[in-house]
Amino acid sequence: MTKRMRTTVRAVAVLATAGLAIGLNACASDASGEVTTLNFFQFKGEALEDFNQMIADFEAENPDIRIVQNQVADADTLIRTLLVKDRVPDIVTLNANGNFGRLAEAGVFYDFSDEPVLETINPAVQDILADLGTYGDEVNGLGYVNNANGVIYNAAIFEEQGLEVPETWDEFIALCDALTAAGITPFYGTLADSWTGVPSWNALGAYPAQDDFFDKMRAQGTDIGPDSEVSFQKDFAEMMDQQYTLYSYMQDGYRGKTYDDGNAAFANGEVAMLLQGIWATNPIKQVNPDIEMGIFPYPGTDDPDDRLLVSGVDVVFTMGKNNPKQEAAMRFIDYAFQTDVIEGFAASQNMVPSVEGAQISDDPALQSVKPFFDDGRITGFIDHQIPPAVPLIPIDQEFLFNGDAEAALKTLDNEWRKVAARTIPVTTGEDQ
């Protein structure tokens, strides 16, 4: 190797090494003077088009802001991975579940306490969010639209068969038997998507979970079992039997069908009911725009007055704690909460808007649950109270496959106990 050649090789190598070293550093920040580009992390696939429209309208009014909607699958996992990498998106929508509560508790989200938009939101909705978890007494999210988790039914089939909405458990079973006798499959099961077992579990489990079941569970620590004051084995046996009974009225092959299969089959009138929440009405309408649907709460009791509608905050808006683009992001959030904008979004998504004074659309499915919202006969999703490290979805799916309620409840108690035993709370103040 000649001397000159050696120098060349060395120069190339130095360049390559330097290039790698730069590549290992964080990406350079993009400082665009003219237009602020906001990264909008959006969890809800069904809302992709609505948000695109909203963004287009907003950008027309605000030419200095550009918003890139990033619609993601499995948002709960992805937002965690982004947080691990310290790359919080500028605007975030999430489903307000237990995960959202834990993220809020970790103090990664902005505090909306002093934002004027907070005054316009129904306080009951913000209470549901606060129950999930907050950082200190901050307000870490803004409830946007609320859902209802009930039984979706095909109004035309009910009318044809002369059937009424059931108000007690016995009426519910009688209804299923009447449908079966008429040669109509009552429900369409979609257990290939394992999560689709959980909506009915939440709705029926809401009854035994009243009277602070989960507060007592947390107070018991690791002392969970058939003999403890409260436990799944002790309080949830009846509810599990109810769920398994409903699954005995499914179509053939319900184990291998997906959520989309179920929505399409229901839209085409193949079955009378779906064990899904109001979020499914939109995909159903995409298949059959003319379908007439209603929703009724799961009547898990013998007294019609004890019926409860399970409801949660379906979409919550939030953003990162220390975001340089905060002002621009807040402008979009303020725009989204304007009465006419939120009404349009809620009507399109078949949800209940959280801004006070915003009207519920006159969709029959929404109107059928309106009385429960008006009377306050609503309760939260119980799976938001269960630590995510407890594999609830697989446990419930397995139970619906094999019908062994005792084993499923024992597993639930055991997983809860293990998570309680190994959770070592962070002593705040030692922020490192």
Partner 1 sequence: MTITQAVRSSATDGAAPKRAGRIRTENRRASAAFYWMVWPAVIAFAGFHTLPVLVGIFFSFTNYAGYGAWNFVGLSNYFNLFQDDRVLQAYGFSFLFAIVATILTNAFSLAIALGLNAKIKARNFWRGVYFVPYILAILVIGYVFQFFFSNSLPKILAGIPLFADNILANEQWACTAIVALAVWQACAFAIIIYLSGLQTIPAEMYEAASLDGASAWRQFTSITFPLIGAFFTINVVLSLKGFLQVFDPIVALTNGGPGTSTESVTLLIFRGGFSGGEFAYQTANAVVFFIVITIVSLFQFRVLQRREADF
Token pair recorded at residue 336: 């989204």
Per-residue b/e over 287-300, b at no fewer than 16 CB within 10 Å? eeeebebbbbbbbb
**Among the candidate windows 217-225, 236-244, 292-300, 419-427, which touches partner 1 by CB under 8 A?**
419-427
Closer residue to partner 1 (CB): 45 or 364? 45
Question: Binding pattern to partner 1, positions 271-310, x when CB under 8 A?
Answer: ----------------------------------------
Token pair recorded at residue 78: 């992805």
Closest distance between partner 1 and the C-beta of residue 366, in Å?
A: 31
Three-point CA angle 348, 40, 34, nearest 5°: 120
How many angstroms separate the CA atoms of 142 and 145, rounded?
Answer: 10
Closest distance between partner 1 and the C-beta of residue 395, in Å?
A: 7
Three-point CA angle 309, 313, 316, nearest 5°: 175
Closest distance between partner 1 and the C-beta of residue 23, in Å?
A: 8
Token pair recorded at residue 372: 């429960």
How long is the chain?
A: 432
Burial (CB < 10 A; 0-12, 13-18, 19+), residue 74, is exposed
Token pair recorded at residue 178: 């009447």
Kindly determine how many residues on this chain lie close enough to bind partner 1 according to the rule CB under 8 A. 55
Question: Binding pattern to partner 1, positions 123-162, x when CB under 8 A?
Answer: ----------------------------------------
Residue 370 binding partner 1, by CB under 8 A? no
Per-residue b/e over 88-110, b at no fewer than 16 CB within 10 Å? bbbbbbbbbbbbbbebbbeebbb
Closer residue to partner 1 (CB): 107 or 225? 107
Closer residue to partner 1 (CB): 305 or 430? 430
Per the rule left: phi > 0, alpha: psi between -120 and 50, beta: everything else, 337 is alpha
Residue from 37, 45, 64, 81 touching partner 1 (CB under 8 A): that is: 81
How many angstroms separate the CA atoms of 70 and 48, rounded?
Answer: 9
Phi, psi dihedral angles at 217 (to 5 degrees): -60, -45
Closest distance between partner 1 and the C-beta of residue 397, in Å?
A: 6
How many angstroms separate the CA atoms of 308 and 372, rounded?
Answer: 8
Residue from 388, 403, 410, 420 touching partner 1 (CB under 8 A): that is: 388
Closer residue to partner 1 (CB): 93 or 411? 411
Residue from 91, 157, 191, 250 touching partner 1 (CB under 8 A): that is: 191
Are 296 and 151 a contacting pair, CB within 8 Å? yes
Start-to-end CA distance of the chain, whole Å, equals 52
Are 238 and 208 a contacting pair, CB within 8 Å? yes
Closer residue to partner 1 (CB): 95 or 99? 99
Closer residue to partner 1 (CB): 254 or 317? 254
* Ranges within 13-72 binding partner 1 (CB under 8 A): 13-14, 16-17, 20-21, 24
Closer residue to partner 1 (CB): 45 or 256? 256
Closest distance between partner 1 and the C-beta of residue 246, in Å?
A: 18
Contact footprint for partner 1 (CB under 8 A) = 1, 6, 9-10, 13-14, 16-17, 20-21, 24, 74, 76-77, 80-81, 83-84, 99, 102-103, 106-108, 191-192, 194, 253, 255-256, 387-389, 391, 394-395, 397-398, 401-402, 414-415, 418-419, 421-428, 430-432
